[in-house]
Amino acid sequence: MSESLNALSARAESVLNEAQKVVVGQRHALESMLIALLAQGHVLLEGVPGTAKTLMVRALSASLGLSTGRIQFTPDLMPSDVVGTHVFDVASGQFQLRRGPIFTELLLADEINRAPAKTQSALLEAMQERQVSIDGTEQPLPEAFTVFATQNPIDHEGTYPLPEAELDRFLMKIRVDYPSEAEEDEILRRANASVVSTVPSAAGVTQVMSREELLALRALGATVRVDDGVRRYALQIIRATRSTPQILLGAGPRAGLHLLVAARWRALLSGRTFVTPDDVRGMLGDVIAHRLTLTPDAELSGLDTAEVLEGLCERVEVPR
């Protein structure tokens, strides 16, 4: 088993290294995105324009050899524009299925909060069941199907807040921050040297893991041990979100399941077959924060969900 763990860690590292041939910095975001892929979860990327959200998805796709589709969400986008529809073929005299861009392995849902709720809901069945219904007929999606959605945290004009049910379907919400000074200097240095590329293949990104290997690796998640104390630790954090005064709407049961799944993969990529409290704590921000709704008073006082979650964790006893 130790050899398998070492091989997994090495393969994961090679995937991340390939992605960073074109993406400067953003190591945490890339690691979390890879964890989500292995855990069969979906990701919401939140960050201001120009922070490489789209590029990171393309880079991971190139290093894994997965097909990628993109949907630019707009206020006039219809559900049929996402999933597809049947159209009449004059030559055959029959209706033919014209599949939408959702039929791909990595779906980039760009600016997802610009589409109205009716269109956003077209993703719910796909994210949960990995299938879509078109004219009453269920159509399966690829086994590796994963949604990477993006949204701008400050652009409120012409946007629609994601409903809680849809937010809960995302395994993680990753905040993509500005690069550090050194990282931004490297971006400018590359631009000055005319080596900047937004096409992963042009930047030298090559496939280092096959689709079949990715799907096979997913089975390793079930081999990771979660001791009773660590499970209770995660449970107490989830339940504490429902009784903290600053939180209006706490995390639901799905949040606890997602937290342990993500913690398992964090442990595996660290070379362990058991989950520690640090694994649980390390995934809290990405997995839990976006599921919480603060009270109006907490928001008016300038608190954000990450700060409230951090304070909450300080009150939960860590198992020894």
pLDDT for 24: 87
- Least confident stretch, 12-26, 229-243, 273-287: 12-26
What is residue 182's three-state secondary structure? Answer: helix
- Is the confidence at residue 218, as pLDDT, over 60? yes
33 CB-near residues (< 8 Å, 6+ apart): 43, 56, 57, 60, 148, 174
Count the neighbouring beta carbons within 10 Å of the beta carbon of residue 120: 24
Q: What is the mean pLDDT of residues 230-244?
A: 93
- Is the confidence at residue 135, as pLDDT, over 90? no
β-sheet bridge partners, residue 264: none
pLDDT for 33: 93
Higher pLDDT, 52 or 235: 235
Q: Where are the alpha helices (DSSP H) in the chain?
A: 2-19, 27-38, 53-64, 79-83, 117-120, 122-129, 164-167, 181-192, 211-217, 228-240, 253-269, 277-287, 296-300, 305-314
Average of per-residue pLDDT values in the chain:
85
Tokens of 2: 């130790």
**Dihedral (C-alpha) 186, 35, 284, 148: value to the nearest 10 degrees?**
70
Decide if 93 contacts 60 (C-beta within 8 A): no
* Domain 224-320, architecture per CATH: Orthogonal Bundle (1.10)
CA 144 to chain CA mean position, Å: 13
- Is the confidence at residue 204, as pLDDT, over 90? no
pLDDT confidence bin for 199, thresholds 50/70/90: confident
Per DSSP, 10 falls in state H
- Least confident stretch, 80-84, 91-95, 293-297: 91-95
- Is the confidence at residue 133, as pLDDT, over 70? yes
pLDDT confidence bin for 154, thresholds 50/70/90: low
- Is the confidence at residue 254, as pLDDT, over 80? yes
pLDDT for 195: 62
pLDDT for 190: 81
Q: Do the strands 68-72 and 42-46 form a parallel or antiparallel pair, or are they unpaired? A: unpaired
What does the alpha-carbon distance between residue 30 and residue 18 come to, in Å, rounded to a whole number?
11
Decide if 145 contacts 109 (C-beta within 8 A): no
What does the alpha-carbon distance between residue 196 and residue 181 come to, in Å, rounded to a whole number?
18
pLDDT confidence bin for 158, thresholds 50/70/90: low
- Least confident stretch, 136-140, 296-300, 315-319: 136-140
- How many Cα neighbours within 13 Å face the side chain of 279? 26
Tokens of 261: 């799944």
pLDDT for 213: 84
CA angle 129, 31, 304 (to 5 degrees): 80
Q: What is the mean pLDDT of residues 235-242?
A: 93
pLDDT confidence bin for 210, thresholds 50/70/90: confident
Predicted TM-score (pTM) of this structure: 0.87
The residue extents of the domains of the chain are 2-218, 224-320
pLDDT for 1: 53
- Is the confidence at residue 93, as pLDDT, over 90? no
Q: What is the mean pLDDT of residues 8-14?
A: 81
Question: What percent of the chain shows pLDDT beyond 70?
Answer: 94
pLDDT confidence bin for 36, thresholds 50/70/90: very high
Decide if 24 contacts 262 (C-beta within 8 A): no
The H or E element spanning position 108 is strand 106-110
What does the alpha-carbon distance between residue 177 and residue 286 come to, in Å, rounded to a whole number?
13
Decide if 134 contacts 85 (C-beta within 8 A): yes
Q: What is the mean pLDDT of residues 58-74?
A: 89
- In sign, the C-alpha dihedral spanning 22, 26, 27, 28 is negative
Decide if 261 contacts 214 (C-beta within 8 A): no
Termini Cα distance of the chain: 25
What does the alpha-carbon distance between residue 317 and residue 301 come to, in Å, rounded to a whole number?
27
Q: What is the mean pLDDT of residues 2-15?
A: 74
What does the alpha-carbon distance between residue 265 and residue 318 come to, in Å, rounded to a whole number?
20
195 CB-near residues (< 8 Å, 6+ apart): none
Q: What is the mean pLDDT of residues 23-27?
A: 88
pLDDT digits (tens, 9 = 90+) for 282-313: 999 999 988 888 899 888 888 888 888 888 88
Right CATH for 2-218 from 3.40.50.720, 3.40.50.300, 3.40.50.10800, 3.90.420.10: 3.40.50.300
